[in-house]
Amino acid sequence: MKAMGITGFGIPESFEEYELAVPAIKETQVLVEVYASSINPGDNHLRSGELLLSPVGGQFSIQFPFFLGGDVAGVVRGVGTGVQHFKAGDRVMGMVRGGSYMDQVAADEDTLTMIPDNVSFEEAAAAPTVALTAWQALFEHGKLQPGQRILIHGGAGGVGHAAIQLARHYGAYVIATAREHNHGFVLGLGADEVIDYYSQPDFVTRLSAPVDMVLDTAMLGKKELETGLPGEFGDYSYDILKDGGKYISITSFGIGTYPGVRNIDSLFFRARPNRDDLNVISTHMQEGKLNIHVDHRYPFTTQGLFEAYRTSEKQPRRGKIVISKEI
């Protein structure tokens, strides 16, 4: 089967095509024919080598060729003897380990869910990582309640635009930050207020009241990648949290060491594949309560990956970038 991996760190053109054996599936695994996948910021930081130079770089062991990609959407072609929830022919989406830019992947059953009939493979491929991250940040770690006020940094991005929709659906008052040309997009997702953090860096003074939670989905400066601590916008965000509030970041991996301010709970986390959570995401997509915006689509080829990763390096973006066999 065809698989696309990188030969070294650096430019997107380092992707090459390889011929691999179709993976053997274990008892509780599913063989998925991949129809589409997507790009997440972590893929880009791994591809460039930046993540390995960061304080958490020691957590990663990479040998080349290295196969990137974690989001997958496709069709089940085989199931292990212990698989209970899927059968051949099912349309599925989820998060996989070991790369997704390949013709077929072996995925653990508990990392997948069904794709709703009204959702395309491309939309499904864009959803798993960003939707799971938003869901787990808001409700598993943040314990967001109806009526609470939340500030979401990076409201137009992948995780941010999913978080706005979920928080609004569950009754929160949503304030989002985004560049000015994305304000209409963010308000259309359900945000109650939107602030341009580049032209209005003093946004603390512009909020009508403090917030119960800050969800930081946007790496807004080199400081975060180099030190793992929030940049200047993170500093401002602490100032607007209520006593007992929560600061949750998916970018500032050193946030646990950040100096405490009042009684504020600070947390960095990465989404983990979970079938129950994925089922909730799938249901919300089926019911039209969560729509993952696909900003760019590229062919499922090495040239398509070159172009997709080049686009992903440009800021700002809306939603997700997808590579698809349906193009």
- CATH value at residue 157: 3.40.50.720
> Is position 277 within any domain?
no
Does the pLDDT value for residue 225 go beyond 50?
no
Residue 145 shares a structural domain with residue 260 = yes
Q: Which residues of 141-177 are buried (b: 16+ CB within 10 A; e: fewer)?
A: bbebeeebbbbbbbbbbbbbbbbbbbbbeeebbbbbb
pLDDT in tens, 18-68: 999 999 999 999 999 999 999 998 888 777 666 555 555 455 667 889 999
Q: How far is CA 296 from CA 38, 123, 319, in A?
A: 10, 11, 9
Residue 259 shares a structural domain with residue 301 = no
Residue 119 shares a structural domain with residue 144 = no
- Give 195-200's long-range contacts (Cβ < 8 A, gap of 24+): 197/153, 197/233
Residue 89 shares a structural domain with residue 33 = yes
Collapsing DSSP states into helix, strand and coil, what is residue 48? helix
Instruction: Tell me which residue of 260, 265, 323 sits closest to 294, measured CA to CA.
Output: 323
Residue 193 shares a structural domain with residue 222 = yes
> Is position 316 within any domain?
yes
pLDDT in tens, 106-127: 999 999 999 999 999 999 999 9
Residue 142 pLDDT level (bands cut at 50, 70, 90): very high
Q: Residue 164: which domain range? A: 130-268
User: Quick one: pLDDT at residue 233?
Assistant: 54
> Is position 273 within any domain?
no
User: Quick one: pLDDT at residue 59?
Assistant: 56
Residue 232 shares a structural domain with residue 317 = no
pLDDT in tens, 227-264: 444 455 555 677 788 988 998 988 765 565 455 556 77
Q: What tokens appear for 124 in the block?
A: 């499904």
Q: Is the pTM of this model over 0.85?
A: yes
User: Quick one: pLDDT at residue 46?
Assistant: 77
> Is position 285 within any domain?
no
> Is position 250 within any domain?
yes
Residue 115 shares a structural domain with residue 188 = no
Residue 190 shares a structural domain with residue 306 = no
pLDDT in tens, 81-112: 999 999 999 999 999 988 999 999 999 999 99
Residue 70 shares a structural domain with residue 56 = yes
Q: Answer with the residue of higher pLDDT: 221 or 1.
A: 1
> Is position 278 within any domain?
no
pLDDT in tens, 153-164: 999 999 999 999
Q: Answer with the residue of higher pLDDT: 196 or 21.
A: 21
pLDDT in tens, 160-187: 999 999 999 999 999 999 989 999 999 9
Residue 145 shares a structural domain with residue 197 = yes
CATH number, domain with residue 38: 3.90.180.10
Give whichever of 45-49, 205-209, 250-254, 272-276 has the largest mean pLDDT: 272-276
User: Quick one: pLDDT at residue 315?
Assistant: 65
* Residue 181 to residue 224: CA distance in whole angstroms: 25
The one-letter amino acid code at 258 reads Y
> Is position 21 within any domain?
yes
Give the count of domains, the chain.
Answer: 2
Does the pLDDT value for residue 291 go beyond 90?
yes
Pairing between β-strand 294-299 and β-strand 320-324 as defined by DSSP bridges: parallel
Residue 123 shares a structural domain with residue 136 = no
* Residue 143 to residue 234: CA distance in whole angstroms: 20
User: Quick one: pLDDT at residue 250?
Assistant: 87
> Is position 284 within any domain?
no
Residue 114 shares a structural domain with residue 168 = no
